[in-house]
Amino acid sequence: MRKDGERETRNEKRDDSYSSFLVLLPSLSSTQAFAQRIAPHLRQGDVVALQGDLGTGKTAFARALLYALGVTDDVPSPTFTLLQSYDVNGVLISHFDLYRLKSPDELDELGWEDALADGIALVEWPERAVGRLPTDSLVLRFALDEKGERSCVVEAQGKWQEIMHIGCSQE
């Protein structure tokens, strides 16, 4: 049985250091199930880059991931604050939305370096932080097509190869 109507297709680029797979996200429950499968792999120092146009489901995924990581507070979108921080058992989890970032220098005022070094960072609109994102970030590319179908491409490079198995169908 597939979970929550979620269908997945493996679509690998044949390179040992880089793989990708597509996850279809037809419902919020499928987004939640996807986040629950990513969460156990996150460690302090990890960065998850949430790419995708407006309204493609980045915040919905981030919220589900934060809950899966143990956040119990409300999770507002950091649309205007640019950053919402959470403490889960002493681990700092930072949820950035950089859409309104005026310049990469503003990242320093937000405590960007410490957030990335010590904690787990989830970053919406990571393109705004060009040159400031670690090259080993886990990249998730959300999309909403003209038929209203939602999906996410997982770009698993380096150590993120270990999550490739979550892209396998669960029959």
Ligand X SMILES: Nc1ncnc2c1ncn2[C@@H]1O[C@H](COP(=O)(O)OP(=O)(O)OP(=O)(O)O)[C@@H](O)[C@H]1O
| Interface ranges with Mg ion (CB under 5 A) | 58-59, 124
Structure tokens belonging to residue 136: 């080993």
Q: x-or-dash pattern for ligand X, window 30-59, by CB under 6 A?
A: xx--------------------x-xxxxxx
Is residue 166 at the binding interface for ligand X, with CB under 6 A as the rule? no
- Identify any residues that bridge with 108 across adjacent strands, giving them in sequence order: none
Closer CB to Mg ion, residue 19 or residue 68? 68
In the list ligand X, Mg ion, none, the entry touching 40 (Cβ below 5 to 8 angstroms by class) is: none
Q: Which long-range contacts (CB under 8 A, 24 or more apart) does 130-136 make?
A: 130/104, 131/104, 132/104, 132/107, 133/47, 133/49, 134/47, 136/47, 136/160
Q: For residues 140 and 154, is the Cβ–Cβ distance under 8 A?
A: yes
| Chain residues that interact with ligand X, rule: CB under 6 A | 25, 27-28, 30-31, 52, 54-60, 97, 124, 142, 150
